[in-house]
Amino acid sequence: MLETRTLTKSFGPIHVTKGVSLRLEKGERRVILGPNGAGKTTLFNQLVGELTPDSGTILLDGADVTSLRVADRARLGLSRSYQKNTLFDGLTIGENLGLAAAVALGKGQGLWRDPLQSAEVRETVREVAAQVDLAAFLDMSVKAVSYGIRRQLEVGIALATRPKVILMDEPTSGVGPEMSKGFHRLLKALPRDLTVLIIEHDMDLAFDVADTITVLNYGEVVFDGLPEAARQSQMLKDIYLGAWEDA
Amino acid sequence: MFAHTPLRLTTLTLLAIGSLAYAFVAGFFGLEILAEIAILAILVIALDLVAGFGGMVSLCHGALMGVGAYAFTVAANEAGLGAFPAMMLAVALSAALAFVIGAICARSIGIYFIMATLAFGQMAYSFVFQSPLFGGDDGLSGAPRPDLTAIGIDLTDSRAFAIYAIAMVALTYLVAAATLRSGLGRSLVGLHHNEKRLRALGLTVWRAKATAFAISGALAGLAGCLAAQHTQYISPGLLSWTVSGEALVVVILGGLGTLVGPIVGAVLFVVLKHEISAITPYWHAIVGLILIAVVMSRANGVFGFVEARMAARKSKPVLQKANADA
């Protein structure tokens, strides 16, 4: 469903992505691990088109999308959530979800109808709000809600586009243990045909949700395999997991 | 997102009734002021559509208005088109030019967008100023008013023209409100809040911005047609950046991003201009002080201030109840 072939990106002398090759099958849940500065978010930025790789190829559903722009990739079913909340702050939660659904449904530039009133958009908003546990907050302004709810909305907006592949950049970043459990349930409940790529530092969540794990270090894939194999890998313990195993 | 709140609907109704009532009782001078307010209101609604809701602060709306005025006058006088076909042509031309400007400027934001639109506006001003076809510095005269005598309306009469101009404000408002409630309008507001996210959701940002700018340009072009019909004389000054700047002042004075506020701003601005200029030639300084006071008060213009006060009063009992429950 999503594949990269020897993806490489440098900023001057710094190699942030070195020949990264990944292959995600339809419905696969893959967690990307790696220490800070390993190039995880940079990889995401290249996958969605916000950064152009120096070399390499990105395939979505078999089609080469490397040269496509961000919006074109989104229309092909690639959606992402951000590590730092990237919301429509002046709008309500319902409007945030509605706008995302409307744009994804191709109603974002129509001149004759209010897409937020269309049955299709309203249904999507209702379903996604239930998925991310925001049904009770739809009429509230984003400015008025807590950080945790904003994190839920961040993921909700990405889901409202009804993507084929969703990239989530640290969805539990900055939230407390209770809310982290909520995200855990959310991720487990996602439709099985949705391909999910997650950057996550919460190890319990990562190992529980992941079908496969990829570990990046200094922009290179240093591990790509099953969660059990990752747990056993001495190299991973050395570069990343030591603190978690010791805890 | 744009919505018709009870306050907005009430204000619109009062403005409509008040202006029509005034049109029936006012003398010649009052009717001229009314037409001036109406033309300015059309221009500021057009500007608020992109600046207030889309965050695209334009300094070329004066030029778009001027293009409408010149296109109308040339089409009617030189090409011999009737007033309404000439108006449609002028509006279409302003829209097309605005689309091109919007498409080119779409990649820039903030001060860079303002400067880019200023450059386009001044280019249009210089072109008209230098061109013999458009009368150069002398301008053009003789722009016709539409002939509605077939339905018993004589637009050469000031009263009829003022009512016709008010009707055009209503049409402009309906177009702007319908745009804001459309998919494009919803996206426009989204772009103001978070362009990056909308792009990541699949919106072709430049096209949305250019289309919104084209609709706004069409409305500015309509204001230009009416300006030409009103004074029946146009000069390059109509395209000057100062016209755009004045329109921006009016939008801020009334309430940016409210659509109703700029109409209130147009009424206040024109009335203040005429009243204060009767007392002192330094009326710009007085209006400037009022604008500074409005901006420094952190209120979103006069109408925005009233809206905020009403919203605060509405939420007070809710907060008191919440506190009591706690």
pLDDT tens readout for residues A120-159: 999 999 999 999 999 999 999 999 999 989 999 999 999 9
Min distance B105 CA to chain A CA atoms (Å): 18
Q: How many domains does chain B have?
A: 1
ipTM: 0.88
Sign of the dihedral through C-alpha A66, A68, A72, A76: negative
**Residue B247 located in a structural domain:** no
CB-based contact A106:A114 (threshold 8 Å): no
Min distance A231 CA to chain B CA atoms (Å): 34
- Work out the pLDDT band at A37, boundaries 50, 70, 90: confident
Cβ-nearest to A80 among B181, B200, B203: B200
CB contact under 8 A, B182 and A113: yes
- Note the pLDDT tens digit of each residue in A196-247: 999 988 888 888 889 999 988 888 998 888 988 888 888 777 776 555 554 4
Alpha-carbon distance of B38 to A107, in angstroms, equals: 33
A2-77+163-246 CATH: 3.40.50.300
Number of inter-chain CB pairs under 8 A, A vs B: 105
CB-based contact B235:B136 (threshold 8 Å): no
**Residue B270 located in a structural domain:** no
Strand ranges for A49-172 from DSSP E:
55-60, 63-64, 78-81, 165-169
CB contact under 8 A, A161 and B202: yes
pLDDT at residue B91, as a whole number: 98
**Residue B275 located in a structural domain:** no
Cβ-nearest to A88 among B179, B193, B205: B193
Residue ranges in chain B modelled with pLDDT below 50? none
Min distance B190 CA to chain A CA atoms (Å): 6
Residue B98, C-beta contacts closer than 8 angstroms, at least 6 positions apart: B64, B213, B214, B216, B217, B218, B220
Alpha-carbon distance of A116 to A79, in angstroms, equals: 20
pLDDT at residue B102, as a whole number: 96
- Note the pLDDT tens digit of each residue in A158-180: 999 999 999 999 988 888 888 88
CB contact under 8 A, B202 and A48: no
Count of other CB atoms within 10 angstroms of residue A63: 10
**Residue B323 located in a structural domain:** no
**Residue B185 located in a structural domain:** yes
Print the domain residue range for B129.
Answer: 6-238
Phi and psi, residue A219, nearest 5°: 80, 0
Which tokens hold the place of B185?
């309008």
CB contact under 8 A, B182 and A108: no
Alpha-carbon distance of B27 to B36, in angstroms, equals: 14
In three-state secondary structure terms, A222 is: strand
pLDDT at residue A247, as a whole number: 42
The residue type found at A143 is: K
**Residue B254 located in a structural domain:** no
Cβ-nearest to B202 among A50, A74, A114: A74
Per-residue pLDDT for A34 more than 90? no
Alpha-carbon distance of B112 to A141, in angstroms, equals: 30
Which residues on neighbouring strands pair with residue A27, listed in sequence order?
none
Min distance B147 CA to chain A CA atoms (Å): 31
Domain boundaries, chain A: 2-77+163-246, 90-161
**Residue B272 located in a structural domain:** no
Phi and psi, residue A214, nearest 5°: -120, 135
CA A146 to chain centre: 21
- Work out the pLDDT band at A186, boundaries 50, 70, 90: confident
CA B81 to chain centre: 26
Alpha-carbon distance of A206 to A212, in angstroms, equals: 10
**Residue B297 located in a structural domain:** no
CB contact under 8 A, A50 and B205: no
CB contact under 8 A, A71 and B202: yes
Would you give the DSSP letter of residue A92?
B
- Note the pLDDT tens digit of each residue in A40-94: 999 999 999 999 999 999 999 989 999 999 999 999 999 999 999 999 998 999 9
Query: In B, residues 170-209, which contact A (CB 8 Å cutoff)?
Result: 178-179, 181-184, 186-187, 189-190, 192-194, 196-205, 207-208
